[in-house]
Amino acid sequence: MPTDAGGMAIVTWEWEEPLDGHVAVGGDLVAVFLNYEPKSPGHLQHNSPEARATLLAREAIQNSWDSAIELAGDDDPQMSMRFEYDRLEGDRKADLVGSLSLQDLRDRLRLLPANGWKDLRLPGPGALNSIESGVPLEVLRIQEVGTTGMYGPWVFNDEERSKMIFAMMSVGFRKKSGPMAGGAFGMGKAGLIAATATRTVVAYSCFRERENDLGVTRRLIGVTYWGGHNIQGRTYTGFGKFWAGNNLPFENEKADEIAEALGMGIRSPSNPEGQGTSFLVISPTVEPNQLLEAVERNWWPAIGKFDDFEIEIVDYEGQSLTPRPKADPELRPYIRAYEIAEKAERAELGVDERFARPGDAALKQNGGRQTTVGRLGLVADREGWSFPSMKDATAHRSLVALVRGPRMVTEYWVAGNGGARPYVRGVFIAENGVVDDLLRQTEPPLHDSWNEALGEGGVEDEAPKLAKKIHDFVLVRVNSFRGDLKPPAPPRDKHHLPDFDKILKDFFKGGRKRASLPPPTPRDVHVEPANRQQVVVDPVDKMRVRAEAGCTFSLTELGRQKVAADGKDAAAVRILISFRFDEDGRAGSAEDSRSTVQLSSGVKGFKATHERCSLVLAGTLGINEEVVAQVHTEAYDPDFAGRITFSADLVAALSGSGTESDESDG
């Protein structure tokens, strides 16, 4: 191997060529994520970090955190992770460019046609200009402490192959397992690849010596992830490897030597903080402030739960940026909902807070035993975002953050597709153990949803069913909570009613024309709804919901007197029960805003008919009798909220007695 003037070996890049008859994979893995858009529904569109920052925050941290969880075993995991941005000039830049042979990458690009950078999937023709003289070279160093490191023998056909092979050079292989594992398929590199303009990443890892890999505790390798291309009649996959040659990485002292030359520092297995992995990203495309926002948006549950989950970002000026999710007003409702889900008992809840647990599930994965599924916390803000101003241009949604063992937000799940007020926010925490493992199986490579699709290979049949059970439970609880919320009274200075103002002025002026308020109208039938209505999954159409409620009817003292005066012991009564969807916080007035109401069980002495979707009960009610009506609506879209109303009156009153019906909400 050639050496420089100082005696250090000159390393060049080795470019992979496809073999005839063998499966070939192009190195432009970034193409898989070019159209990736982070899920930022509703109010989370505000200050939403860009896609590359989200990928880097989710994937890079998740891989390291999984490793820290593995190292901790039954103890609480401890991990610190430092993202350090640097701008190199002069000798510092020359040393890195020479040590990493970046001029090889530049020269290779120059051998391609003018638009060859497009075939390589580089972000622009000037992606490698920063290695030229006079242009600062920007780099990002990522260092983790408290993980296992990328251990394992450097044997490609061994199930126990090195974690470094999985992380840097494999796609589509499952490696990680365990109840809290977050990654699979080797997609963790996605965040790193998308974060570099040159598509170049270096990994240097230190780990404990193992029986199947004796004598090795450190390894280093660099990889380019370029698109397939042709040079001088030869075809290349786009994978370029900066390594010792002969399919081997740099190991031990040689790995230390190159890591130090690249400014990555030296890691030692004898140092408790030496075990772990360092990454070098050339020409980062993610700005420090964007990374900070992405870490807060996706990792606030772990930041709040684990004291030893520490993330630090150092910008180009050397300023340390520490994630503080509690300072973000967009995240505060979720942080409170998380506290409720983890700790709350019913007595501790505020008026606009809810806590619930789904019923236990008999899981085959757990020997058919009844298994706790998780916990749900919900919050609302009657004076704020639950009932936003009509001038608010935000496409609000009711959102629930879905979280499992690693405590990264899997998804801010939209509880229904519509945007009807009132809005609620919440957190569902999946139970550790078998539930966590099943949900992990349903996640796609980027771990951003719990999928309900059945029949996927490598996924237990009950895994997507469990995901659906959770989604259904959350949806019902969200809609029930929305149904309980009442719109706040508008501020007194927000509405001006000229005619009403004139009446009040005349009222307080005195004189012959002073207005008088009519006395309240007496009622003949007492209407007493149950404590509240509830929204449940429709038993027939599982994708929709229905409202259920009950109400008790009896004669008032005035009604009994009227019946007794006629010499009777019962009266003809007409009961009207309707369900109207909310329209801007008010019960809808249009006939098509209703959902048909049905009796859940018969009411003795009453006959049921329907008038314009409303349920009408006609029958007799004794002087000292009360009847109970249990009703439910037809199935409707879970995006809507509404309320069931009850009214009743004596039949005689309808034809001119002068009384008004008693109407109440369920």
Which helix (H) or strand (E) segment holds residue 298: the answer is: helix 288-305
Residue type (1 letter), 378: L
Convert the pLDDT of each residue in 11-22 to its tens digit.
789 999 888 776
Q: Which residue has the higher pLDDT, 131 or 304?
A: 304
Detail the DSSP E strand segments found in 69-113: 79-88
Q: What's the mean pLDDT in 630-636? A: 91
- The CA distance from 290 to 293, in Å, is 5
Token pair listed for 650: 């004596």
Write b or e for each residue in 151-190: b if 16 or more Cβ atoms lie within 10 A of its Cβ, otherwise e: bbbbeeeeeebbbbbbbbbbeeeebbeebbbbbbbbbbbb
- pLDDT category at 606 given cuts 50, 70, 90 is very high
Convert the pLDDT of each residue in 343-375 to its tens digit.
876 656 888 999 999 999 999 988 899 999 999
- The CA distance from 72 to 145, in Å, is 12
pLDDT given at position 451 = 93
pLDDT given at position 539 = 87
User: Are 58 and 288 contacting, i.e. CB atoms less than 8 angstroms apart?
Assistant: no
pLDDT given at position 35 = 62
Quick count: other Cβ atoms within 10 Å of Cβ 651?
14
Q: Which residue has the higher pLDDT, 150 or 158?
A: 150
User: Are 408 and 299 contacting, i.e. CB atoms less than 8 angstroms apart?
Assistant: yes
- pLDDT category at 3 given cuts 50, 70, 90 is very low
pLDDT given at position 348 = 67
pLDDT at 662 over 50: no
> 22 by DSSP, 3-state: which?
coil
Looking at the chain, the whole-number percentage of residues with pLDDT higher than 90 is 51
Collect all residues with Cβ–Cβ distance below 8 Å to 343 and sequence separation of at least 6.
none
Angle at 450 between CA 380 and CA 148, to 5 degrees: 105
- pLDDT category at 123 given cuts 50, 70, 90 is confident
pLDDT at 176 over 70: no
Looking at the chain, the whole-number percentage of residues with pLDDT higher than 70 is 83
- pLDDT category at 588 given cuts 50, 70, 90 is low
User: Are 478 and 470 contacting, i.e. CB atoms less than 8 angstroms apart?
Assistant: no
Q: Where is mean pLDDT largest: 183-197, 462-476, 573-587?
A: 462-476
Convert the pLDDT of each residue in 498-529 to its tens digit.
555 555 555 555 545 545 556 666 788 988 88
Q: What's the mean pLDDT in 563-589? A: 79
Q: Where is mean pLDDT largest: 87-101, 150-164, 540-554?
A: 87-101
- Report pTM: 0.76
Helices (H) and strands (E) in the chain — how many of each?
Answer: 14, 30
pLDDT given at position 507 = 55
- pLDDT category at 182 given cuts 50, 70, 90 is very low
pLDDT given at position 33 = 61
Q: What is the largest CA-CA distance in the chain?
A: 120
pLDDT given at position 561 = 87
Question: CA 161, 162, 163, 167 torsion: positive or negative?
Answer: negative
pLDDT given at position 260 = 96
Convert the pLDDT of each residue in 71-120 to its tens digit.
999 888 999 999 999 999 999 999 999 999 999 999 999 999 888 888 88
- pLDDT category at 629 given cuts 50, 70, 90 is very high
Q: What's the mean pLDDT in 392-418? A: 91
Lowest mean pLDDT among 226-235, 251-260, 481-490, 548-557: 481-490
Question: CA 335, 489, 46, 43 torsion: positive or negative?
Answer: positive
pLDDT given at position 188 = 63
pLDDT given at position 656 = 40
- pLDDT category at 583 given cuts 50, 70, 90 is low
Domains of the chain: 25-324 (no CATH), 332-484 (3.30.230), 525-665 (2.60.40)
- The CA distance from 534 to 635, in Å, is 13
Q: Which residue has the higher pLDDT, 642 or 24?
A: 642
Backbone angles phi, psi at 627, to 5 degrees: -125, 150
- pLDDT category at 494 given cuts 50, 70, 90 is very low
Q: How far is CA 342 from CA 335, 374, 378, 470, in A?
A: 11, 9, 12, 17
Strand partners, 409: 403
Collect all residues with Cβ–Cβ distance below 8 Å to 518 and sequence separation of at least 6.
none
pLDDT given at position 32 = 66
Mean pLDDT of the chain: 84
Convert the pLDDT of each residue in 20-36 to its tens digit.
776 667 777 766 666 66
pLDDT given at position 6 = 53
- The CA distance from 440 to 467, in Å, is 10
Q: Tell me the H-state helices in 328-445.
A: 332-343, 434-442
Q: Tell me the H-state helices in 447-591.
A: 462-484, 498-509, 557-565
Q: Which residue has the higher pLDDT, 451 or 581?
A: 451
Quick count: other Cβ atoms within 10 Å of Cβ 615?
22
Token pair listed for 55: 């990928």
